[in-house]
């Protein structure tokens, strides 16, 4: 058998500790240090950890004139609390903690420690408790975290006094899921570009400044009613040195040495501190978050969005833990918190280095309690779960149950993949899920040989019947459907992943070569007439389909993600269109509002479609039986349908044929044209009857007069 132990012969070391803990307790404990001698012993220990469970309040908290510290780590043999006066202190005042029978290490200290920095040194079998290299671990229940901006992101927890913020009567924004129009966005990207004119660019506060071109005012003017924030729980900001190794890994993939999107969560209760720093660009080897003002800044942001009538959904990552931080759950209790194989190696179906063992009772508790904390303490309206399929079904079910006890209208959606693909499984558990069928069917899977319907192609198993299914919410009543209810279908054509829709169309039409260097970014972003038509047709289909609607920031003006040619970073792709910009805290990701003006025609079209969807219930609440389709006899890319919902009657028409105009007969009556190839909105452009002729790659919406 493979030896897991540092030594092959087990030994006993009896350590007797007699100390005054500063808590009025005189402790005397005997600790057993013994390495695992083989995989069998390890595996028995690993499987037996499920028996540990505690209802005790965890983390640090102040009650009266005392401060409590509690950490769940059942595999640990010794834990020390380390308290620091200043964030950059190397020396700490240490206290030995007491372990209860359920694996909780705890300590009560006299005094209010609010604002103090702390962490834990956690020792396991085989560890030398005199070893100075044992890292200080951040508290998994930290309400605020200070981070040193260098590789491995050393951090310290901060004691936070809770429930001391004036919400001014703010409550959750509770909407029917069918009414959601989601704007997926990155906190920093909305104001970091100089064109946004924000005084505090790239921050929570900059996002809600008044009188700027970017941020909240831009979002409100666009008309969406919900924002989905890319990860804002504290995360690992730095990756490994490029072309260098650290902790057994060699960085060949990230010359920027950064994690911009944030899908490496390191503290589930704490807001990301970078977005509270007034830095124009990231500063290396600095402490950030040490003031704790990120807590108030985040609440100010949510309150401002709510005052504008806009809900806030958080993108959360519970399938894996940050791979680029020292002093986290790996060092606290690897055996309890992670999925391991029989040799003690991490299982990584997330492809992110380690997968959390969500089926463990105390991991499930951590997940649910952190979600409820964001709901109660930060008034967050919902969550989007990254790689949701890696969360076990029992946890998925309990998340839905417990969160709805707090807010019955809470938004719960996910990526329905990760070690499998099962949107129906989530729908049956009353979760929403991203609908890649509509994404791949309408846009296509890739812009090279996988073009979709708006290009006049049938990618994969796409068909007219599937196109109709997307209109109805991709319901299970169609044999190839995905969802039990249409409001579980998150309809989208662009997200943070992959090419933007604008770039997908630029490449798909072969009008832009993704392998060529682009030096004139303004010229590249300007849509050609053909690109504009495809963008409009795709948007029209998206906003008239039943289900939840989601767009990604900048989609409304065909944003292009070109890596700036003048970067000093040694990126061999500089000047080219990027399809995986997770690592770029620069103008690749920042929204350039000059480009919104360049493509104002498309921006206005999106605004009009958003207004149309918000005003008329037919595009959100119509039932399956309310929609009647008719196909065009001369082209398989011609499609129309009539919606009869309540007192409203609409005709929606599409001509995705790239080669010919198509004539569509209209039901009897006079029809107000609200959307055509040029404009979209709620105002009548002109009145017609009898028939409509659509040019190639155009659509229309008509309302019975």
Instruction: Report pLDDT for 36.
Output: 63
Rounded to the nearest 5°, which phi and psi values hold at 590? -65, 140
* Tokens standing for residue 355: 């997968």
Q: What is the DSSP letter of 382?
A: E
Write out 634-659 in H/E/C secondary structure: CCCCEEEEEEEECCEEEEEEEECCCC
Q: Tell me the pLDDT tens digit for each residue of 42-86.
A: 889 999 999 999 999 999 999 999 999 999 999 999 999 999 999
Write out 468-512 in H/E/C secondary structure: HHHHCCCECCCCCCCECCHHHEEECCCCCCCCCHHHHHHHHCCCC
**Residue whose pair of structure tokens reads 């009857």 in the numeric block:** 689
Instruction: Report pLDDT for 253.
Output: 92
Mean pLDDT estimate for the chain: 93
Burial 26-37 (b: 16+ CB within 10 A, else e): eeeeebebebbb
Q: Tell me the pLDDT tens digit for each residue of 475-486.
A: 999 888 999 999
Estimate the share of the chain in helix, then strand, then coil, as percent rounded to the nearest 5.
25, 25, 50
Domains and CATH numbers, the chain: 177-320+357-615 (3.20.20.80), 623-704 (2.60.40.1180)
- Cα–Cα separations (whole angstroms), residue 604 to 217, 219, 279: 16, 13, 33
Q: Tell me the pLDDT tens digit for each residue of 566-608.
A: 999 999 999 999 999 999 999 999 999 999 999 999 999 999 9
Q: How confident is the model at residue 17 (pLDDT cuts 50, 70, 90)?
A: very low
E-state strands within 21-168:
26-33, 59-63, 66-72, 78-84, 93-96, 98-99, 104-110, 117-123, 145-148, 155-158
Q: How confident is the model at residue 243 (pLDDT cuts 50, 70, 90)?
A: confident
Instruction: Report pLDDT for 132.
Output: 86
Q: Count CA atoms closer than 13 A to 424's CA, side-chain side.
A: 9
Q: Tell me the pLDDT tens digit for each residue of 338-352.
A: 999 998 999 999 988
- How many whole angstroms separate alpha carbon 225 and alpha carbon 16? 61
Question: At residue 190, does pLDDT exceed 60?
Answer: yes
For the chain, report the end-to-end CA distance as a whole number of angstroms.
Answer: 79
Q: Provide the greatest CA pair distance for the chain.
A: 94
**pTM of the model as a whole:** 0.94
Q: What is the DSSP letter of 448?
A: T
* Tokens standing for residue 502: 């604008």
* Tokens standing for residue 547: 């289900």
How many helices (DSSP H) and strands (DSSP E) are in the chain? 16, 34
Q: Count CA atoms closer than 13 A to 536's CA, side-chain side.
A: 31
- Cα–Cα separations (whole angstroms), residue 703 to 252, 666, 683: 56, 11, 10
Per cent of the chain over pLDDT 90 is 86
Task: Please indicate whether residue 256 or residue 244 has the higher confidence score (pLDDT).
Answer: 256
Q: Tell me the pLDDT tens digit for each residue of 521-555.
A: 999 999 999 999 999 999 999 999 999 999 999 99
Q: Tell me the pLDDT tens digit for each residue of 90-121.
A: 999 999 999 999 999 999 999 999 999 999 99
Contact (Cβ atoms closer than 8 angstroms) between residue 178 and residue 487: yes
Quick one: average pLDDT of 151-167? 93
Q: How confident is the model at residue 37 (pLDDT cuts 50, 70, 90)?
A: low
């Amino acid at each position: 058998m493979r030896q897991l132990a540092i030594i092959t012969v087990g030994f006993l070391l009896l350590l007797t500790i007699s100390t005054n803990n500063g808590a009025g307790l005189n402790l005397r404990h005997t600790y057993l240090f013994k390495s695992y001698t083989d995989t069998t012993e390890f595996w028995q220990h690993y499987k037996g950890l499920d028996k540990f469970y505690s209802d005790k309040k965890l983390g640090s908290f102040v009650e009266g004139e005392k401060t409590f510290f509690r950490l769940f780590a059942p595999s640990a043999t010794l834990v020390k609390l380390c308290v620091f006066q200043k964030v950059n202190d190397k020396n700490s005042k240490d206290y030995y903690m007491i372990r209860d029978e359920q694996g909780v290490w705890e300590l009560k200290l006299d005094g209010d420690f609010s604002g103090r920095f702390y962490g834990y040194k956690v020792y396991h079998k085989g560890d030398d408790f005199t070893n100075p290299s044992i890292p200080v671990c951040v508290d998994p229940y930290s309400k605020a975290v200070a981070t040193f901006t260098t590789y491995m992101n050393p951090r310290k927890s901060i004691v936070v006094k809770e429930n001391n913020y004036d919400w001014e009567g703010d409550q959750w924004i509770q909407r029917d899921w069918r009414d959601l129009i989601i704007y997926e966005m990155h906190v920093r990207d909305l104001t970091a570009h100089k064109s946004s004119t924000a005084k505090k660019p790239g921050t929570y506060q900059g996002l809600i400044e008044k009188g700027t071109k970017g941020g909240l005012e831009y979002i409100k003017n666009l008309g969406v009613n919900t924002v989905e924030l890319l990860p804002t729980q504290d995360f690992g900001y730095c990756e490994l040195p490029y072309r260098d190794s650290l902790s057994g890994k060699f960085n060949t993939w990230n010359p920027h040495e950064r994690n911009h999107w944030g899908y490496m969560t390191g503290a589930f209760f704490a807001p990301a501190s970078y977005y509270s720093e007034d830095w124009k660009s990231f500063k290396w080897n600095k402490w950030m978050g040490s003031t704790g003002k990120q807590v108030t800044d985040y609440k100010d942001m949510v309150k401002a969005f709510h005052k504008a009538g806009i809900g806030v959904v958080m993108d959360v990552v519970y399938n894996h833990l940050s791979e680029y931080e020292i002093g986290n759950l790996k060092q606290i209790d690897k055996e309890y918190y992670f999925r391991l194989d029989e040799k003690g190696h991490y299982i990584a179906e997330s492809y992110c280095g380690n997968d959390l063992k969500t089926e463990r009772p105390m991991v499930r508790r951590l997940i649910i309690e952190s979600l409820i904390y964001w709901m109660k303490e930060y008034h967050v309206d919902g969550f989007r779960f990254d790689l949701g399929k890696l969360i076990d079904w029992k946890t998925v079910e309990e998340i839905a149950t417990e969160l709805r006890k707090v807010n019955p209208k809470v938004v719960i959606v996910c990526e329905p993949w990760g070690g499998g693909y099962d949107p129906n499984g989530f729908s049956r558990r009353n979760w929403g899920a991203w609908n890649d069928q509509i994404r791949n069917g309408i846009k296509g899977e890739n812009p090279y040989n996988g073009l979709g319907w708006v290009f006049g192609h049938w990618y994969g198993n796409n068909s007219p019947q599937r196109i109709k299914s997307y209109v109805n919410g991709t319901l299970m009543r169609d044999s190839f459907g995905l969802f039990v209810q249409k409001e579980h279908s998150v309809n989208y054509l662009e997200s943070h992943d992959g090419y933007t829709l604008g770039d997908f169309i630029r490449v798909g039409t072969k009008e832009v070569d993704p392998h060529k260097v682009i030096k004139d970014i303004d010229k590249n972003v300007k849509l050609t007439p053909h690109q504009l038509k495809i963008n409009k047709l795709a948007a029209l289909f998206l906003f008239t389909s039943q289900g939840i609607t989601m767009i990604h920031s900048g989609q409304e003006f065909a944003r292009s993600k070109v890596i700036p040619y003048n970067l000093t970073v040694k990126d061999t792709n500089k000047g080219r269109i990027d399809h995986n910009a997770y690592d770029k805290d620069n103008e690749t990701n920042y929204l350039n509002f000059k480009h919104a003006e360049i493509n104002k025609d498309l921006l206005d079209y999106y605004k009009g479609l958003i207004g149309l969807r918000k005003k008329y219930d037919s595009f959100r609440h119509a039932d399956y039986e309310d929609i009647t389709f008719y196909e065009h006899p001369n082209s398989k890319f011609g499609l129309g349908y009539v919606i009869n919902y309540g007192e409203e009657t609409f005709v929606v028409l599409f001509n995705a044929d790239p080669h010919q105009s198509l004539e569509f007969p209209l039901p009897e009556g006079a029809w107000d044209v609200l959307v055509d190839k040029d404009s979209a909105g709620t105002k009548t452009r002109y009145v017609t009857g009898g028939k409509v002729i659509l040019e190639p790659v155009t659509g229309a919406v008509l309302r019975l007069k």
